[in-house]
Structure 1
Amino acid sequence: MIEKIDHSSLKTSKLIYNIFQKSYAVEALLLNHDDFPPLKRTASEIQQSKTTFYGYRHEEELCAIMELEINENHIHIRSLTVAPEFFRKGIGYRLLCFVRDTFKVDLLSVETGHDNFPAVNFYLNFGFKKNKVWMTEVGIEKISFTLSSQP
């Protein structure tokens, strides 16, 4: 079940933090990068974020988080994280479908590490198009994708 979640509560921000820590630890390994910025984000920073969070629950357990920056005609997916024990169960796909079908915007965008091949293939298979590749100041090569509702 997908639901909007109140990240301003300390209890919920800690749940989000725990999922982020588990999921981003896997991405850091895939990218072979010890100094991975998403792992430095605190529960307090999550709690104070101005973004919108949706969660996916499996049998009442929060097992995936999607963080969105919602604008009038564009949504940027700041994070789409699934707890590793729930990988490859279609949860990420359901979250993307939810955003695409719920918010009638012209453009969806998302970024990931260039060498995070599971995520890169996931977005490409969903229909996202590669937008650009760049090197971050911490030495991580990133790739951005867009999905347009326009033909």
Structure 2
Amino acid sequence: MLTHLDLDNALIAAELLTLQRQAYRQEAELIGYHDLPPLHESLPELMDCGETVLGWKAEGELLGVLGYSVDSEGVLICRLAVAPQAQRQGIARRLLDAVIAAAGQQPIRVATAAANLPAIYLYCHHGFEPDREWQTPDGLALVGLVRMPA
């Protein structure tokens, strides 16, 4: 079930942080890069991120999250994570559908590791198109994608 997560609630934020660390550890293994910023985010940093966060829960358990912010350029997806045991069940798709509906006529931007082919496929399947590539100072190749309003 889709729900909005209140990051002012430390228990909810801690639950999100646990899920995020599990999911991003798996991504780090997939892409061969173990210094992903979400793996080092603290509870106070998460609670102060300023994002709107959607969650997907089943039987009371948080299984997926999508955090986004809105600025003058549109919507920016800041985090998308699904618990490893709940992947390939359509949770990320449902979360993306919700943010696409919320965005209305605003463009939506996201960035992911260029080696994260499952994420790139998911975004492209939802109408995102690659629009730029760059590398972090320590060599992680990234790709930016954008979904323009229909």
Bin for the TM-score computed over the shorter chain: over 0.9
Q: Give the structure 2 partner of residue 132 of structure 1.
A: 132
Q: Give the structure 2 partner of residue 54 of structure 1.
A: 54
Q: State the 1:73 CA deviation.
A: 6.1
Aligned residue identity for 1:70: V
Q: Give the structure 2 partner of residue 89 of structure 1.
A: 89
Q: Does 1:75 align with 2:75?
A: yes
In structure 1, what is the Cα distance between the partners aligned to 2:145 and 2:29? 22
Residue 8 of structure 1 aligns to a residue whose secondary structure is: coil
The two structures have a TM-score, normalised by structure 2, of 0.94
Q: State the 1:3 CA deviation.
A: 1.3
Count of residues paired in the alignment: 150
Unaligned runs of 5+ residues in structure 2 are: none
In structure 2, what is the Cα distance between the partners aligned to 1:2 and 1:119? 20
In structure 2, what is the Cα distance between the partners aligned to 1:36 and 1:148? 27
Q: State the 1:19 CA deviation.
A: 0.8
Q: State the 1:106 CA deviation.
A: 2.2
Q: Give the structure 1 partner of residue 105 of structure 2.
A: 105
Q: State the 1:72 CA deviation.
A: 5.7
* RMSD (CA atoms): 1.3
Q: State the 1:14 CA deviation.
A: 0.6
Q: Does 1:122 align with 2:122?
A: yes
Residue 112 of structure 1 aligns to a residue whose secondary structure is: strand
Contact map agreement 2:25 2:34 (CA 8 A) in 1:
no
In structure 2, what is the Cα distance between the partners aligned to 1:125 and 1:28? 23
Q: Does 1:3 align with 2:3?
A: yes
In structure 1, what is the Cα distance between the partners aligned to 2:73 and 2:36? 30
Q: Give the structure 1 partner of residue 37 of structure 2.
A: 37
More moved, 31-40 vs 141-150: 31-40
State the percentage of identical aligned residues. 26
The two structures have a TM-score, normalised by structure 1, of 0.93
In structure 2, what is the Cα distance between the partners aligned to 1:81 and 1:34? 16
In structure 1, what is the Cα distance between the partners aligned to 2:52 and 2:138? 26
Aligned residue identity for 1:111: A
Q: State the 1:127 CA deviation.
A: 1.3
Unaligned runs of 5+ residues in structure 1 are: none
- Structure 1 residues 4 and 72 mapped into 2: Cα distance closer, same or farther (>3 Å)? farther
Write out the 4+ residue segments of structure 1 that deviate beyond 4 Å after TM superposition: none
